[in-house]
Structure 1
Amino acid sequence: MRTLATLALVLATSTMVLADDAKVKLEYKFAVGDVIRSKVVHLSTVETKIKGSTQTAQSRSISTKNWKIQEVNAEGDATFIHSVENIDMWQKVTDRPEQRYNSEKDEVPPAIYSEAAKSVGIPLAKITVDTMGRLVDREQLGGTPSSESQILPILPGEPVAVGAAWYSPDDITVRTGSGAQKHIKTRQVFRLKSVTGGIATISTETQILTPIDDPMLKVELIQKLTRGTIKFDVEAGRVASQQLDLDETIIGFQGETSVMNYLGRMTEELIPGAPAKVAAVPPAPKAMKEEPKPVAAPKNDKVAETKSWDKLIEGSAEPETFEANEPAAKVASKPERPRVEGVPTLADPATKPAEEEELKLSSPDQD
């Protein structure tokens, strides 16, 4: 019996090793009639220092995203209608009153949120993606057109083992200080970290391939430089949750002593169950609230030393909810991004160092 038990243990251990080395197929799976809802939270703090003057801008946005699958073709390409059921927004800028808007409670939004309010509860876009998550087609139906070329995290076209990496290229168009357009080549790096309980953990990081010396271009790109973790449900074929973080500092964008610190976080979590009541579209107000005039406030050069994303999510409007040296300021308008063509390059981890040396890039962090 002892021999049998030992043999069983050896076999079990062997199976575990094989499972770790085995390849897994990651692909999106959608069916007509599916309604995919998720809670999306955006948090940011931008601090700018120019000629001895410091300004801090904090913002929080909580929304419920709704995707209703209309069609799935033989290749698995899925077409869905994208809408936003509700939004809860907050903003605070140094020496100005805070701004708030909740689509389920407020009938008339502040002027700053008027466009966002018009986008609640209506079809915004008809989007088609393939099983790898690549954008196939987009038709704008309402609201402000999006220039994002990546709707979903990109998945590899072949089965991959833990440790494997794959890439999704992108070409971003930004404007220089003189107004000229410049194309910046980037790529999103994905790496399968583990597969446990049917959930694949994938790390992701943005890499800029085009050399950039102009600090103003870095300001244009700052919101794209994210890194984070994706939890993918292999059997269901969809993202269970993801968190993307951004923590960047740019020096010299407006004079040698100017500094911008940007801290941001985006989290998304799948909502199980039937959809809740969608917020009605706010009626067009006869008189929009005027932007409040700046109110003088004592200058406070000290910044909070403790970080608390949770307080901001819960609705606290206190400036100290963000770490002072944790970034935030007004970022240049989002550049238009052309549609990405082609298949992400599947990389064998064993050949990755040579590839990175060729591109003169540092390899992504590995746990």
Structure 2
Amino acid sequence: MVSRCISNISLIVAMFLGCSAGIAQDSLAWKFTAGESLKYVVQQSTQMEMDLNGQKQAMTMNQTMDMAWKIASIESNGDTKMSQIVDRVQFKSEGGPFGAVQFDSSSKDAVDSPLVKSMAEVFKKIVGQEFGVTMQPTGKVQQVTVPPSLLKALTESGPAGNAMNEDTLKQMMTQSAVTLPAEAIKAGDSWESNQKVELPFGTMTVSSTLTYEGTENGLAKITMQPKIDVKPKEGAPITLTMKKSEGKGTVMFDVAKGRIAKSDLDLTMELMVKQFGTQIPQTLRQKTSMVLAE
């Protein structure tokens, strides 16, 4: 009788623990301390295939960007004011109409290629500039301030600089922070995130479904399912149509420290580019990673 009673109590306790584990909720939030500095390395590799009048061409591009987040203050409402700085940009491409191209913003070597000179003129104006960013604990960026001196310098850089306007620079600074729900979540919960990127040929919209998969060893795993669409810009010399897009990604978020430890995103896009009356099918395969270096 006693053993049966103990057995029943054990069963009830086990059931209770099982139910509690099933409904356990976690709170995820970005956390910073005034005066600290974070270093992120963002790497992106792109493989592009295109069909030019029946002739297939391939091009590969690799870009690495070193970024610093300098935390200035934490406001009474929990918002964080920080400076985001691009410390270094490295770029390498092979194939395509320009052949082999390589650029490193930290290099002091003389540049011969007109294309590399054009890139250097733009990126060297961006490197070292402090962008003012205000971020909520959810990761939502409330405000981005672009240095006026940078905007003036880019305007004076000609066509290459004009491609990087104020909106483009602001969007570049807002894309590194994953947006989290304000309320507590449990494994299996999903939420939506939407980003718009203004490009010379139109507006690209990235709509992502994020799902919390649970926490292990202090890292919350969040999976991403992005969907991409492009709205052509009226009067643009190039028209881009998104035929198909698919992708997946993973974010590993340090719960205790309140920041991304690592993120990966794989995208495949099938596009139709129309220029001067010619239609060019393109396929892009892109891998992007962001790693906390310090």
Normalised-by-shorter TM-score class: 0.7 to 0.9
**Aligned equivalents of 2:190 and 2:217: distance in 1?**
21
Q: Which has the higher strand share?
A: 2
Deviation at 1:261, TM superposition (A): 0.7
Deviates more, 1:81-90 or 1:155-164: 81-90
Q: Which has the higher contact order (CA 8 A, sep 6+)?
A: 1
Cα distance change, pair 152–52 in 1 and its aligned pair in 2 (3 A): same
The answer on 1:187 being equivalent to 2:188 is no
The answer on 1:196 being equivalent to 2:201 is no
Deviation at 1:172, TM superposition (A): 5.7
1:58-69 residue pairs with structure 2 within 5 A? 58-69=60-71
**Aligned equivalents of 1:196 and 1:13: distance in 2?**
23
Match in the other structure for 1:218: 241
1:98-117 residue pairs with structure 2 within 5 A? 98-109=100-111, 110-114=116-120, 115-117=122-124
Unmatched tracts of structure 2, length 5 or more? 155-163, 233-237
**Aligned equivalents of 1:126 and 1:20: distance in 2?**
41
Cα distance change, pair 271–57 in 1 and its aligned pair in 2 (3 A): same
SS for the counterpart of 1:75 is coil
Match in the other structure for 2:235: none
Cα distance change, pair 100–9 in 1 and its aligned pair in 2 (3 A): farther
Find 1:161's aligned residue among 181, 186, 199.
Answer: 186
The answer on 1:246 being equivalent to 2:253 is no
Unmatched tracts of structure 1, length 5 or more? 273-367
Deviations 1:192-216 (A, max 9, x none): 012112211101122358999xx94
Match in the other structure for 2:145: 139
CA contact (8 A) 2:38 2:68 kept: yes
Find 2:134's aligned residue among 120, 123, 128.
Answer: 128
Match in the other structure for 2:250: 229
Deviations 1:91-114 (A, max 9, x none): 123364411123344444531431
**RMSD in angstroms over aligned alpha carbons?**
3.7
**Aligned equivalents of 1:10 and 1:112: distance in 2?**
71
Match in the other structure for 1:57: 59
SS for the counterpart of 2:241 is helix
**Aligned equivalents of 1:108 and 1:20: distance in 2?**
61
Match in the other structure for 1:323: none
The alignment's TM-score, normalised by the length of structure 1, stands at: 0.61
Q: How many residue pairs are counted as aligned between the two chains?
A: 262
SS for the counterpart of 2:180 is coil
Deviation at 1:15, TM superposition (A): 4.5
The answer on 1:90 being equivalent to 2:92 is yes
The alignment's TM-score, normalised by the length of structure 2, stands at: 0.74
Cα distance change, pair 246–186 in 1 and its aligned pair in 2 (3 A): closer
Deviations 1:246-280 (A, max 9, x none): 112235857898421101011011113xxxxxxxx
1:333-352 residue pairs with structure 2 within 5 A? none
Instruction: Provide the identity percentage.
Output: 19
Match in the other structure for 1:39: 41
Deviation at 1:79, TM superposition (A): 1.1
